[in-house]
Amino acid sequence: MTRVRRWLPGLLLVSPSIVLIGVFVYGLLGWNFKVAMTDKHDEIAEIPGKFVGLENFASIWSEDRWGLSVRHSIVFTVVFVGGALVLGWLLAFLMEKGIRGEGGFRAIYLFPMAISFIATGVVWRWLMNSATGERAVGLNRLFHYLGLDFLQWQWFRDPDWGMAAMAVPAVWQMSGYIMALFLAGFRGVPEELREAARVDGCNEWQVYRRVILPMLRPVTLSALIILGHISLKVFDLVVAVSGKQIITDVPATFMWTAVFDAHDPAKGATIAAYIVLSVVIFIVPYLIWNARRGNR
């Protein structure tokens, strides 16, 4: 009894948050799946919708637009995650031994993180304007000035690789963050360890290969998780750069139009459920891994 008296107040103090998370996160996720399993394809009519099982989940694959948005999402993810990881790592690598003005460099690489995708989307839409030749503005015009006309292309309007262009602003925005993560990782390697490796006859390159890179693995995993889950739900950036155009459609924008333009809750919920599942597949193992590591 005295033991209960000891911990009960704590539980009471957290209970509002437990209820809120229970309802708003888990309850609503469940509700969304429930909507996704009905035939409520009309928002206006007051009918609740019949249970149809996984029919919506299967039938959506026969829609061209869905296939397109999945393909776009994959291209975006590969370019964005790869780009931000490589650039962030490179920036951290260039700085890790300490360099004059490090604080200034870091502040500049990181500042895009403080701005919304909507605001940066405004300027990137201009920079990635698809006009070429005489009418070129933005980066295409800059390429012309630099004598690199062959680099001019359609950017996000390119029918095949437009989503690779869409990843450019995202890399610009997020690589500073990845740099900060890697920099903390580099600095977490004790100097004695590097020294010991040198004494054992490793050259600088081998010190990196054998000592530092293996110790950066947890950081790399965190970075991958963060970038991956941002990528799969990307929405603001796409809306800001190109609006609702099919040519840059991703699941999140498709869901948005399903809800607001097509007024089809069941379809919107189905797409939302797929977005959640795509993230859950790798977040849950990560959280379990992280919790185990924390307990050690």
Partner 1 sequence: MTRAGAARWVRLGLLVLFVVVFLIPVYVLLVTSFKPLSEADPGQAWNLPTVWTTEAWRVAWEKLEPGILNSFLLAIPGSLLSAALGSMNGYVLSKWRFPGADVVFTLFLFGMFIPYQGVMIPLVQLMVNLGDWFHLDLYGGIPGLTLAHVVYGIPICTLIFRNYYVTIPDELIEASRVDGAGMLRTFWSIVLPVSGPAFAVVIIWQFTSMWNDFLFAVFLTGPTSWPATVMLNNIAGAQTVPYSQQMAAAILASIPTMVVYVLLGRFFMRGLMAGALKG
Q: Restricting to residues 155-194, which ones interact with partner 1 according to CB under 8 A? A: 172, 176-177, 180-181, 184-185
Q: Is 105 in the site for partner 1 (CB under 8 A)?
A: yes
* Residue 296 interacts with partner 1 (CB under 8 A): yes or no: no
Between 160 and 234, name the residue whose CB sits nearer to partner 1: 234
Task: Round to whole Å and give the CA distance between 179 and 187.
Answer: 12
Q: Which two tokens stand for residue 163?
A: 């989503």
- CA–CA gap between residue 24 and residue 284 (Å, rounded): 19
Task: Using the minimum distance from each CB to partner 1, give the nearer residue, 50 or 100.
Answer: 100
How many Å from the N-terminal Cα to the C-terminal Cα in the chain?
Answer: 30
Structure tokens at 93: 């690598």
Cα angle 167, 173, 179 (rounded to 5 degrees) comes to 110
130-159 residues in contact with partner 1 (CB under 8 A) are 131, 134-138, 141-142, 145
Site stretch for partner 1 (CB under 8 A), options 64-72, 75-83, 128-136, 156-164: 128-136
Using CB under 8 A, which of 59, 67, 116, 206 touches partner 1?
116
DSSP string, 188-224: TS-HHHHHHHHHTT--HHHIIIIIIHHHTHHHHHHHH
Q: Per-residue x/- mask for partner 1, residues 259 to 278, rule CB under 8 A?
A: x-----x--xx-xxx-xx--
Using CB under 8 A, count the residues that bind partner 1.
103
CB of 209 to partner 1, least distance (A): 17
